[in-house]
Amino acid sequence: MSEWGELRLSDAIEVKHGFAFPGDGFGTETAAPQVLTPGNFAVGGGFRRAKPKSFDGDYPAEYLLESGELVVTMTDLSKAGDTLGYAVQLPADEQFLHNQRIGLVQLIDPSLLEPRFFGYLTRTRAYRDRIVSTATGSTVKHTSPGRIGEYVARVPAVAEQRAIADVLGALDDKIAANEQVVQTADQLGRTILQARAETITGDAALGEIAEVVMGSSPRGEELNTGGSGIPFYQGSRDFGFRFPAQRVWTTFVTREAAAGDTLLSVRAPVGEVNVIVERVCIGRGVAAIRSKQGRPVLLAYLVRHAGPQWEQFAGDGTMFASVNRKQIESIRVPAFGDKEAELLEVELASLESQIRVVLAESRTLAALRDTLLPQLMSGKLRVRDAEKTVEQAI
C-alpha cells in the first residue's frame, strides 16, 4: 500500500464553466446531443438519465462533449444540496452539450490524480460536507470551480488511485451493463404498446381509467432520514429509471400511494414517471395515478406513452412548470378494449418482472460499492481484499 498525502485539487484539475444555451432553442429530440443538467446527477453519485433535452441552434463547438469526459454539477435545487459537487463520467457512445450549470473537469497533472478516482472522491463525506457548507444560495445552491479546487484531499499514489477506481468501477460497470438490459426491455415494452395503439382509433381521458391522488407534504420536522415510518417522496429528485430511491421517511402520513401506483412528477420537470412497490407518503411535487381496472403495469406504460402531452405544462420562463389534477385527468391515452388491455397487461407485466429482477441486482451491487467506497477512499481497506469481495459479487 502506497503512502497517502495531501493534494489540493487545483494542483491537478481545472473546472471549466459551460455555455448559456438560449431557452428558446430547447427541444426533446432523443437522437440529438442532450443538454446536461443537474438532473443528470443521481443522489448518492453516478449518472442519471433525465427527460430528453436537446438544443436546436448554434453554439461553440467546444461545448459539445464526448462520451467518457468527466463533468461536475455546480448547481442544486434541493435545500440539502443533494447532488452538488458530484462528478460523473459521461456514458459511452453518446454526445452531450455542456450547459452553464455544469463544470467540465480537465486534468492538468496526470501524475497527481486519476480522473476516475476523483469521481469517487466526490462521493466521500468529507468532500461533500466541504462543498455543501461553502455553497452560496438558500433555495438554489451553487458552488464554483474555485471552491472545488480549494478542497484538500488525502490521496495515495496514482497507481493505487487507479487500482481503487478499478475495484469500484467493476461494480459500476456491471450496474451499467444491467442498465442496458433494462433499457432494452423497456424499449421493447414501449414498442409493443405503440404497435398495439396504432391498431385502434379510439382514445380516452386518463381520468376515465385511473384515479389521481395529488401529493401533500408533511412539515419538515415530521421527516427523518433514519428509516422511521414509511418512505416519503417529494419530487422527481428521488426518481430512478423505474423505481424511486428511499432517502427520507415520515411517521406523519399526509397522502398515500400504494404498491403498483404510477408516480408522476407534477412540478418541473413535469411528466417524469416512476412506479411504487410499497405503501409510501407523497409530497406536493408528485401525484399517484392508480388504475381503476386493476391493470397497473399497462397504466404506467400509458402514462409514459403520453410523454409529449406533458410538454404543454413545461412553463414559459415566467411561470414555474406544474400540472394539477384536472390537467392530469384530461391527458388522452389509447382506449383498448378489455380483452386487448388484459393481454397487454400480461405481456408487459412479464417484461416488468425482468426489469425488477435486474434492478434489484443493481441495487445490491450499488449498496456494496457504497460500503466499500469510504473504506477504500480512506485507506482503511486494502485493494486486494476489496477485489475478493467484488469478484464474489459479480
Judge contact between 165 and 87, C-beta under 8 A: no
Which residue is it, cell 384530461? 330
318 pLDDT tier (thresholds 50, 70, 90)? very low
317 pLDDT tier (thresholds 50, 70, 90)? very low
Domains of the chain in start order, with CATH, are 5-155 (3.90.220.20), 201-335 (3.90.220.20)
- Tell me 241's DSSP state: S
1 pLDDT tier (thresholds 50, 70, 90)? low
Tell me the pLDDT tens digit for each residue of 263-277.
Answer: 999 998 899 999 999
> What is the residue-wise DSSP string for 253-314?
-SSEE-TTPEEEE-BSSTT-EEE--S-EEE-TTEEEEEESSS-HHHHHHHHHHTGGGGGGGS
What is the spatial distance between Cα 23 and Cα 79, in angstroms, rounded to a whole number?
Answer: 25
> What is the residue-wise DSSP string for 76-91?
E-STT-TTTT-EEEPP
Q: Which of 369, 299, 321, 289 is nearest to 124 (CA)?
A: 369
3-state secondary structure of 136: strand
Q: What's the chain's average pLDDT?
A: 92
Judge contact between 81 and 141, C-beta under 8 A: yes
pLDDT of residue 80: 77
Tell me the pLDDT tens digit for each residue of 141-158.
Answer: 999 999 999 999 999 999
On the question of a cis peptide bond just before residue 374, with omega within 30 degrees of 0, the verdict is: no
The answer to whether residue 319 scores a pLDDT higher than 50 is no
Within 13 A of 304's CA, how many CA atoms are on the CB side? 21
In the chain, the percentage of residues whose pLDDT exceeds 90 is 79
Tell me the pLDDT tens digit for each residue of 202-225.
Answer: 999 999 999 999 999 999 899 999
The answer to whether residue 383 scores a pLDDT higher than 60 is yes
3-state secondary structure of 239: coil
315 pLDDT tier (thresholds 50, 70, 90)? low
Least reliable range by pLDDT among 4-8, 13-17, 46-50, 185-189: 46-50
Least reliable range by pLDDT among 44-48, 95-99, 282-286, 289-293: 44-48
Q: Stretch 316-336: mean pLDDT, rounded? A: 82
User: Which of the two residues, 319 and 100, has the higher pLDDT score?
Assistant: 100
3-state secondary structure of 142: strand
pLDDT of residue 111: 95
Judge contact between 159 and 303, C-beta under 8 A: no
Instruction: Tell me phi and psi for residue 29, to 5 degrees.
Output: -70, 120
The alpha carbon of 301 is separated from its chain's Cα centroid by a whole number of angstroms, namely 19
> What is the residue-wise DSSP string for 45-67?
SSB---S--EE-S---GGGEEPT
What is the spatial distance between Cα 95 and Cα 277, in angstroms, rounded to a whole number?
Answer: 33
320 pLDDT tier (thresholds 50, 70, 90)? low
Which residue is it, cell 401525484? 287
Within 13 A of 100's CA, how many CA atoms are on the CB side? 6
Tell me the pLDDT tens digit for each residue of 54-88.
Answer: 999 999 999 999 888 999 999 998 777 889 999 99
Residues 6+ apart with CB under 8 A from 140: 75, 76, 77
